[in-house]
Amino acid sequence: MTCRRSHPCARPDRRDIGLLLLRTGTGAVLAAHGSQKLLGWFGGGGIEGTGAFFESVGYRPGKVNAVLAGLAEAGGGALLALGLATPAAGAAAAGAMAGAAPVHAPNGFFNQGGGFEYPAVLGLVSAALAVTGPGRLSADHALGDALNRPWMAPAALLATGVATAALVASRRRALRDDEA
């Protein structure tokens, strides 16, 4: 009997190994980045320091936004690494990076000048993983893709996109109010 790629008895292939590497690498980076915000690990500011920074760049209230960003990054990253709830995890991480990009945009594109290159890459990879799925070497696959249905990626990305757009618009208003 020959198994089709989508059949449960099919062996993992290059695509699955590539998705595993991409998911675990990106997920680990995001989880570490989020733990800087939430726990102050890896030289991060924790909720207090990150909250003060968020407040200074217009994301208000700062502490609430620090917790939300930290959870989206750390939680989304950990779930991406596991390949669990991949559409929601990828969308959450992509939304956090979409919120970070406007803070870095005045510095141009490249990361060495403080630009938005880094959040753009993490956000695009996260969104791509949400759309593509985790592959067969994942918790989602092991659980029968119960948290990785075809409709979930567009729904999660749409919900995250709307929430992120509202957050960025709120930041823009706060910055305009500060200038006035």
Question: Helix, strand or coil for residue 1?
Answer: coil
| Mean pLDDT value across residues 107-130 | 97
pLDDT tens per residue, range 37-76: 999 999 999 999 999 999 999 999 999 999 999 999 999 9
Supply the pLDDT for residue 12: 86
Higher pLDDT, 1 or 65: 65
- 3-state DSSP call for residue 103? helix
At residue 96's C-alpha, the angle toward residues 95 and 101, to 5°, is 95
CB atoms within 10 A of CB 23: 28
Nearest to 72 by CA among 117, 134, 105, 30: 30
**SS3 per residue for 17-69:** HHHHHHHHHHHHHHHHHHHHHHHCHHHCCHHHHHHHHHHHCCCCCHHHHHHHH
Cα–Cα distance, 43 to 71 (Å, whole number) = 17
- Would you say residue 3 has pLDDT above 90? no
Q: What is the pTM of this model?
A: 0.91
